[in-house]
Every structure is written in C-alpha cells, then in structure tokens.
Amino acid sequence: MTRTHCPYCALQCAMHLEPDPSGNLAVRPAQFPTNRGGLCRKGWTAAELLTTPERLTTPLLRTDTSSEFQPVDWDTALDHVARRMAQLRRFHGPDAVSVFGSGGLTNEKSYLLGKFARLALGTSQIDYNGRFCMSSAAAAGNRAFGLDRGMPFPLSDLGGAEVVLLAGANPAATMPPMMGHLTAPTLIVVDPRRSATAEQALARGGMHLAPRPGTDLALALGLLHVARVENLLDEDYIAERTTGFSEAWRHVAAWWPHRVEQLTGVPAADIHAAARLLGQAGSRYILTGRGCEQHSSGVDTVSAWINLALALGLPGRVGSGYGCITGQGNGQGGREHGQKADQLPGYRRIDDPEARDRVATAWGVDAGELPGPGRSAFELLDALGQDQGPRAMWLLGSNPAVSAPDAVRVRRRLAELDLFVVSDFVFSESCEYAHVVLPVAQWAEERGTMTNLEGRVLRRNQAVNPPAGVRTDLEVIRELAVRLGQPAERFPSEADAVLTELGAVTRGAPADYSGISARLAYRDGGRSTAGPSSGGPVAQPASYVAAEDAASVESTGEVASPDTGNELYWPAPVDGSGTPRLFLDSFAHPDGRARFLPVEHRPAAEAASPTFPLLATTGRVLGHYQSGAQTRRVPELAAADPETVVEMHPDTAARSGLRSGDQARVTSARGTTLARVRITAHSRRDTVFLPFHFAGAGAANNLTNPALDPTSRMPEFKVSAVRLEPVPADEGKDSPDE
C-alpha cells in the first residue's frame, strides 16, 4: 500500500493505492486536512489512468506532419529533438525554440524546466497553462498584499465561518471534498448560472447572485458601496493596516445598487441583503475563482473583491480572510519556480537585477546569460511559426489544442511549427500536430512535491515503476540538456536532488522553500506488494512529514491535522518555521500595509449583437478535469459526461428552435461548437453555458475570445458572443477547423 495524493485538482486529496484482486492498483481515500477521508469521482477512479489501453510506451517520430508516426528508441528520438533544436537556434536565434509547461507539473519539474529553457536553450519563450488559471488573481494579490499565495490560511479555517462569499467558484462540481469545509457557513454564491454550489447555498438559506457575464466587477463595487453607506466597514482596520481607501472609494461612490442592477441584472434588494449578510457576520471569508479571473479585466475584477475584503477588515486575521481557490494540482507551486515567462525560481521577477544575480550565481553562470521576460501563454501560442515567432516548441503536461482560447487558431499555429515535441502519457489532441511524442511517467510512477491551494507543500509518493520504455520528465530534461551541451550535474534527474537545489536557489525569495527539505523527515510508509501490470511495485522508503511532528502522525506518514505542528507551508525559510496563516502581523509591502487599488468597471471585449445575440460562458463539470485528456479515458467518467452540452433557459431554446436533447450549433466570430441542448429553468435568458473538457467539434474553446488582460495576460474565456442554430438530424459532425 502506498499513501499519496490525487493527480487532479489543487485540494491534493490524500489517498491510498493498494492492489485489487486483479493485481491492478485501486484507490482508497485517506485522512488529510483538505479531504478528511473523502474523494470525488475523479479521485476514486484515478488509478484507472495507470492501466489505460491508450498508454504510450515508445517514442514516436515523424519528419513532417503529413507522414505517419514511427516507433523509435529513446536515443533516436532525443538525438533528433536536440539536433533540430540546435539547428533552429543556430539559424534563427535562441528564441526560435519555446517551451510550454503546466500547472500540473511537480515543483521539481517546474523548476528544472525553467532552468532548462534559460540555460540549455537560452530562450525567453517559456510559459505555461497556469497563465489561463491563476494569473489574474496572482497579479491582484501581489498588488494588494505584496505576495501571492492563493489561500493564505488553512482550508479548515472556513469551517468556523458564519458567512462565506464565493465569487466565480463552483467547488461542488470542481472540488467536491472542499464542500465539507463549507457546511456550517451561510454561502453567498456569485455566478451567472445556477451551479451545483449555488443550489447548495440556496438549499441552506444562503444567496445566489447571478450577474450578467463580464459584470462581476460592478457587482463587487456595488457591494462595497452598500457596505460603506450602511456603516459596515472596519474603519480602524482601514486606518491601521491599509492605504489607498480614499482613492478607491472615489470609483466606488458612483456604483449605487440600482445602477449596478441595471448593468448586472442582480436586483438592488439582493445587493443590499448580501452586503448586510457579509458585513454583519462575525467570522467571514471572501473566496474568488476562475469566474472572476478569466476576463480581459480579470486583475481589476479580483482587485474589486479584495477591496471589499479589505474594507470589511478580513485579510490577515484569524477567523476571517480573503483567498483565491487555485484550480490545477500544482497551480500554486507551478507558478513560483520559473516556468512562467516573467519569473525566476522563488517567485522572483526575471527583470529584477538582484534576482537575476542571485539565481545566476546559484546556477554557476553570469547574469547576462539569462534571457529576459518572454511572451505570455496565448501570445506565445499565437506567435508559433509566424514571423519573429518561435519555430519549435516542447510541450509538457498541457493540451492547448483543446484548452487554449480561440482553439481553431491555436491548432493552426501548432501545425505551422518546424519542430513540435510533446511529452505525455497518452496521445492527446495536441499530439496530432507533433513531430515527436515522448512517453513519460504518470503521477503514481514517480516522486515529487506539490504545493496545494493552501500553500501546503506535500509529497506525492511513487507507487509503481513506469512501464518499460517510459521515462520521467526529469530524466528527459536531463538527457536533452546534456545533448545541448550542458554539464550533466547541472540537471539532476532525481526529485530529491532537485528539491534540495530548489530550496537553496529560493532562499530569501518571496516563495522561500529553503527550509522545506531541511524540515522534512523520512518515515516508513509501508511497502507495495503488487502493482499494475504496466509497471512493477516499488518499495516505499518514505513519506515526507514535518520532522518536528513525526511523533504525532499516523503510521502512514502524513499529518492528520493542520493544527498539530505541521508547518509545511511556504514561505518556509531555512532558519524559521513555515507559515500556515499569512499577514497576521503585517502585509508583504515595505510599509506592512495592504493596498486598496482603484478599479472601474469596463465592458467585456465582446458584446452581444444582432449577429451573435447571446453570451456564452465556460466552466467545468463534476466528472472531467481540464482538457479531459485524462478523464475522458476513464470509462466511468466518460459514460457519465460523454459529450459537450450547452445549458440554456427554455425561452432561449424556444427562440432558437431547439428542444432538450437536440444537437445545437453554437457559433462565435472565431469558430463553431456542436453541443447537446440541456434546458435549465434557472439559466439567464441572455447566457448559455458550455463545459470546456471536450475536443474536436465539441471543443468549447473553438468559441472563446483571446482578448487579454493588460496586466496578467489572461484570456477572456468567460464571455463570448454567440448564436444558436439547430443541427439537422441527418447532418454529420462537421469539423470546426474547416
């Protein structure tokens, strides 16, 4: 039996992997502070990924995308990749080769991948799919607090709250075990659709505010307006712990509730009621999610919610607070350690001379050798194969052919590359455009650390060996680096060695991991006795737990409670303890004060029109995760949610000549998606909803708008102007690429 953590969302629920009667691994939930012995259906079925019949076990190579893939050995594949990368760099410069990572990669992979891009390739062209997830909240958090840790308190703190406002988050569908922490509070849910979370809120006497897509910022301004007019603000907190309120208020003053109602559609009476409910509670939290962030005004929208939290005196207090719900498994750690275009390890800015000197010295190079900031994720994808854009890309742990906005355009860009290399364990939709596909290990076949939504650093243990012919990402990074002329010792392939180096390089940085490995102790976690047929069992030498807490943990080696001495939270300097609750004494700005940011509503980049009279918004469903490359290969999950649906109000369906169960063509200015009609009486009449987990003709991101936030460079996934049309029963599924 092996105790480890789920391969999906940022809760990082704990689980046991143990052999079933067939010899394959099965999942059993484990006690851990985030999931407390529970799992969602994705977690329960996670072990099926280890034996999927679509598993890649041999490198695939083709010289051009019009030919067939041929199985080759690893040396042939890696020699080809390194040779082509070197040729393209020689002819077009180092930025001709790009790297695209993932918020699902471990801390060790994120760190070594950034190091590889900047030293082995010398390229500035590296970013990752986390840009599509947390970038707006990260920018807003840095502006307000001086530091970005999505949730600066343990998740268990929410259980003691009286009221929790969830803006743009649907944890009942996206991370169900989190709802166990939200049974006591009264919930206020802000979401254009009647989500599963909104249903639970209403069933327990809470509220659902359903603003028109793209108007969340105005709603936050309206709530702050009411809070001040009704004397609900914490004036002492504002005076003692913040700065900038007066300037921010000048923008809020004009947003009286009836004006907000006209723009958002949320009744003024509900705005008053929500502000009073939140403002009068003794213990309260505001949590934001992707619904606030995935806009061309995402940073300002999150800042508006932070302004409300600051005005009520929530951040930096025990029993109240503001946090952002991270989505991807390592969404927090993935953005801290260098796979983001503008950052170096430890959340250091790549354009900061002191940061460059520190990192370069640690890496044994001159700071002048490090490239500057590169393109953000969509800008990088859109530049592929174009004039002055990269001619090659190495893709790890992501599937932009499905997950990127304006996906039809992105697929065209991928097809125009001179070299496209994909590392994956299955043949994803992005692999269809590749020249080389490298089969790599899965979550349970390797070791590494993840940083969950609370900023808690945890160990993901290895349960089985990878199948024959499969290598780990760290091994592949090392092999390519050596082929590109780097010394082998500069790129260790063992996760523990990388973590030790990561700790040293991040010492003194905002995301300081220098004390993580020093205070992690080995504890016997048992030994696997069997494993999936695709790979043999491995001995379990250790689970990582806090050394000072080793006596109080279970025999499985995991801390059972966040309040028993476990301090595996960053920042964790080598000469001090970790930090479960940030900002209790001061914020991370030099003066110790949080910043109000003056923000103003601005409309979405695209409005409804006679040609496209409806607004489409996207999101997730319970059974699938991200682009669906993993979950669509689990039979139980695929059967529960087999295809794209489009939710709409009965009146919206009737106006478009549609009935429940019909197939509809949803069209925007960028492309078309085919989806099954699902009618819901609580939908807004001006809005339709589509999940983004499906590919091909059913890809919701065929519709979405790549308009970018000016600060975070987040695309506007949440607002696209569309029209609906019935699809005749005898019409085949036409490809939106055509």
pLDDT one-digit tens code per residue, 314-343: 999 999 999 999 989 999 999 999 999 999
| Structural element, H or E, at residue 422 | strand 419-424
Share of the chain above pLDDT 90, in %: 88
Look at domain 5-131+331-552 and name its CATH class: alpha beta
Angle at 91 between CA 90 and CA 94, to 5 degrees: 55
Contact call for residues 109 and 560 (beta carbons, < 8 A):
no
If one compares 333 and 737, the residue with the highest pLDDT of the two is 333
| Structural element, H or E, at residue 439 | strand 436-439
Return all residues near 592 (Cβ < 8 A) that are at least 6 apart: 241, 585, 586
Extents of the domains making up the chain: 5-131+331-552, 135-325, 614-726
The pair of three-digit structure tokens given for residue 716, joined into one six-digit string: 């506007």
Q: SS3 letters for 638-685? A: HHHCCCCEEEECHHHHHHCCCCCCCEEEEECCCCEEEEEEEECCCCCC
Q: Which of 401-410, 521-530, 667-676, 709-718 has the lowest mean pLDDT?
A: 521-530
The amino acid that residue 395 corresponds to is L
- pLDDT of the residue at 563: 32
Quote the longest CA-to-CA distance of the chain: 71
pLDDT, tens digit (0-9, with 9 covering 90-100), for 629-643: 999 999 999 999 999
Contact call for residues 411 and 81 (beta carbons, < 8 A):
no
Q: What is the pLDDT of the chain when averaged over all its residues?
A: 92
Share of the chain above pLDDT 70, in %: 92
Q: In the predicted model, is pLDDT for residue 260 greater than 90?
A: yes
**What's the gap between Cα 222 and its chain centre?**
29
- pLDDT of the residue at 516: 87
What global pTM score does this model have? 0.93
Q: In the predicted model, is pLDDT for residue 550 greater than 90?
A: no
Nearest to 61 by CA among 80, 42, 47: 80
Q: Which of 20-24, 347-351, 353-357, 383-387 has the lowest mean pLDDT?
A: 20-24
Model confidence at 537, in pLDDT bands (50, 70, 90)? low
- pLDDT of the residue at 732: 52
Look at domain 614-726 and name its CATH class: mainly beta
pLDDT, tens digit (0-9, with 9 covering 90-100), for 37-50: 999 999 999 999 99
Q: In the predicted model, is pLDDT for residue 75 greater than 60?
A: yes
Helix residue ranges per DSSP H, 281-369: 290-293, 298-311, 331-334, 353-363
Q: Domain 135-325: give its CATH code.
A: 3.40.228.10
- pLDDT of the residue at 535: 52
Q: In the predicted model, is pLDDT for residue 598 greater than 90?
A: yes
- pLDDT of the residue at 731: 73
